[in-house]
Amino acid sequence: MNAPATSVAATSAVRFAGVVKHFGAVKAVDGVDLSIAAGEFFAMLGPSGSGKTTCLRLIAGFEQPDGGHIEIFGETVEGLPPYRRAVNTVFQDYALFPHLTVGENVAYGLRVRGVGRAAREAAAREALGLVKLAGMEGRKPSQLSGGQRQRVALARALVLRPKVLLLDEPLGALDLKLREEMQVELKGLQRALGLTFVFVTHDQGEALSMADRVAVFNEGRIVQVGPPEQVYECPATRFVAEFVGSANVLSAGEAAALGAPARAASLRPEKIGLLAPGEAAAAGVAALEAAVVDVSYQGPVRRITVRTASGHAIAAVVPAARTVDVGPGAQVRLAVPLAALHPMEGER
């Protein structure tokens, strides 16, 4: 399994054009247009029922579209069964055969394709080496940790040499520490192999930390797509601002009262500072007086929820050392950098 070049080609690995999918009266996918570049780590992010998993299943061939067009590396795939597509899928529940060894699980797809025993065992060993499980061919899945079983599922998908690897919330069953470790390993593996990864998740942290680009889904549509930094720093809608991380959404009037343009805007909590008594706000920074409603300790920072004189609730994330004497009922002055307010089109 020699690793191909890691540069992202101009060719689209996956292309959706006006794709629609119904389940009864429910329009699960509502006219999705999408282009995923070859060699890209692409994340589909959204809440349950937003259409992201259905899109993944449409790529895989487990579902067929009711309208629109799907291509994989320029090939039309509507009507093609999964086994005739240049893709493979890693599922959240691993779907390993408990009665087979690790090596047999990884080599299973090659066995179905009629590959000889010696060749498929060699390929399985190589794939297990890629996911750091060399020498574990003889173990059973029950003898592995959750993270190791996830790696076996990944190796089983990679051994078939797909052009596109589909990952359906593969880290959802892992604990936090292991999930963070696997995020780093998955991204490193994708870079090394140069494969196109399409990753479905409802976890914003996973999408932001691993993806080259993120598509945010809501109600069967893509509401924003772009690099993680752009989606986080410049949310296009209230939904994106509130779903990707957390954000304060200010009305046009509230933004104007701070001295910003009179347009609805998002304001990330970590952009807000806390002014000391008598401290003047710097140039380009608005001082906002408010009453503390709640303080949540989160290690190096505290999350402070305040209510302004107009009754608007705002959250700020500030260094814990600056909030020792701040508690519910206290009057505080927040420092709001006007440049941190991001106007959102179509919002009021």
Do 159 and 300 fall into the same domain? Answer: no
Q: Would the CA dihedral through 220, 221, 224, 225 be positive or negative?
A: positive
Do 283 and 205 fall into the same domain? Answer: no
Residue 346: per-residue pLDDT: 62
Do 331 and 227 fall into the same domain? Answer: no
- Residues 307 and 288 sit within 8 Å (Cβ to Cβ): no
- Residues 263 and 251 sit within 8 Å (Cβ to Cβ): no
Do 192 and 287 fall into the same domain? Answer: no
Do 280 and 238 fall into the same domain? Answer: no
Percent of the chain scoring above 90 in pLDDT? 69
243, 259, 292 - which closes a domain: 243
Residue 1: per-residue pLDDT: 47
Mean pLDDT over each residue of the chain, to the nearest integer: 90
- Residues 13 and 164 sit within 8 Å (Cβ to Cβ): yes
Res 285 pLDDT > 90: yes
Residue with tokens 């000889």: 116
44-59 pLDDT tens trace = 999 999 999 999 999 9
Residue with tokens 């500030």: 318
Lowest mean pLDDT of 13-27, 148-162, 189-203, 317-331, name the range: 317-331
Whether residue 109 is contained in a domain is answered as yes
Do 185 and 272 fall into the same domain? Answer: no
Q: Which of 51, 39, 45, 47 is nearest to 14 (CA)?
A: 39
**Average of per-residue pLDDT across 115-125:** 93
Whether residue 304 is contained in a domain is answered as yes
Do 274 and 229 fall into the same domain? Answer: no
CA atoms within 13 A on the CB side of 164: 30
* CATH number of 306's domain: 2.40.50.100
Q: Which long-range contacts (CB under 8 A, 24 or more apart) does 234-238 make?
A: 234/342, 235/266, 235/342, 235/344, 236/344, 236/345, 237/344, 237/345, 237/346, 237/347, 238/264, 238/266, 238/344, 238/347
Whether residue 6 is contained in a domain is answered as no
* CATH number of 190's domain: 3.40.50.300
Whether residue 52 is contained in a domain is answered as yes
Do 289 and 238 fall into the same domain? Answer: no
For residue 191, give the H/E element and its range.
helix 176-193
Domain that holds residue 239: 12-243
Tally of domains in the chain: 2
Could you tell me the pTM of the whole model? Answer: 0.88
Do 233 and 272 fall into the same domain? Answer: no
